[in-house]
Amino acid sequence: MPDLTPEPVPKAVPDASRRSERSRRAIFDAALALVSESGYARTTIEGIAARAGVGKQTIYRWWPSKAAVLLDAFLDLQVRAHEAMDGDGDGGSEIPDTGDLAADLKRVLRATVDEMNDPVFEAPTRALAAEGIVDPDLGARFTETLLEPQLQYYVRRIEAAREAGDVDPGTDPRLAVELLVGPLHHRWIHRTLPLTHAYADALVDHVLRGLAPRS
């Protein structure tokens, strides 16, 4: 039986090699600026194009949606931020292993709390998270490119701890990570209570108690 699917859209992917880097950057800058100035909802593709001094088609040529633009812009921002911090551009930093699991986790969780409270990151992250809740495709890309890499740092640190006997050998690292990160995100998303370093510490303490090696 032949495939009768009506050629789901060839779409003629444009030639990426001739793409204008200048426009790409201008679009990212405009998108981030507009989102933090006016909020995601009031940001429009038309507005981004105008602010970037770019034709609308140049956006539609390379991205399928406003959210996709913002995701890439935000990713780019992260990369630039990390490059500014540490010399190289490997895109992130492993959780250090000082031997003190609790201390290591607290350090990183506190950093996460700080980032969540940083207004520069807040607007785009909220927007992307919100869009991802509702749009599975974007949600997948969001999870995959922003969230999951973060979680993997935790996973690896906990696996190391398991190796070192700092947590019960039966520990599921994935679940452990979610125990740490889930409550944090919950507060952030629903704004139920303030996100503080003390809260991060308390989380780590409780979770590690649950994971302690059985006597």
Partner DNA sequence: CCGTAAGCGAGACGGTACGTCGAGTCTTGGG
Partner DNA sequence: CCCAAGACTCGACGTACCGTCTCGCTTACGG
Do 31 and 69 form a contact (C-beta atoms < 8 A)?
yes
Burial class (CB in 10 A: 0-12, 13-18, 19+), 178: middle
- Return the number of the residue (57 or 192) whose C-beta is nearest DNA: 57
Q: Which residue blocks in 164-196 are alpha helix, DSSP H?
A: 173-190
Task: Confirm or reject binding of residue 136 to a second copy (CB under 8 A).
Answer: yes
Site string for a second copy, 32-71 (x = CB under 8 A): -------xxx------------------------------
Burial class (CB in 10 A: 0-12, 13-18, 19+), 170: exposed
Do 120 and 36 form a contact (C-beta atoms < 8 A)?
yes
Site string for DNA, 22-51 (x = CB under 7 A): xxx-x---------------x-xxxx--x-
Compute φ and ψ for 65, nearest 5 degrees.
-160, 165
Task: Confirm or reject binding of residue 116 to a second copy (CB under 8 A).
Answer: no
Least gap, CB of 187 to a second copy (angstroms): 7
Binding partner of residue 119 among a second copy, DNA, none, CB cut-off 5 to 8 Å per kind? none
Site string for DNA, 55-94 (x = CB under 7 A): xxxx-xxx--xx----------------------------
Taken in order 14, 15, 20, 25, the sign of the CA dihedral is positive
Would you state the structure tokens that stand for residue 163, as one six-digit string?
């190796």
Distance of alpha carbon 51 from alpha carbon 198, whole angstroms: 41
Binding partner of residue 57 among a second copy, DNA, none, CB cut-off 5 to 8 Å per kind? DNA
Task: Confirm or reject binding of residue 206 to a second copy (CB under 8 A).
Answer: yes
- Please identify which residue in 37, 39, 53, 140 interacts with DNA, judged by CB under 7 A: 53
Q: Which of 199, 215, 111 is nearest to 207 (CA)?
A: 199
Task: Confirm or reject binding of residue 15 to DNA (CB under 7 A).
Answer: yes
Compute φ and ψ for 82, nearest 5 degrees.
-65, -40
Q: Which of 138, 131, 92 is nearest to 115 (CA)?
A: 92
Task: Confirm or reject binding of residue 126 to a second copy (CB under 8 A).
Answer: yes
Least gap, CB of 94 to a second copy (angstroms): 21
Q: Which residues bind a second copy (CB under 8 A)?
A: 39-41, 126-127, 129-136, 139-140, 142-143, 147-148, 151, 172, 174-176, 178-179, 181-187, 189-193, 199, 202-203, 206-211
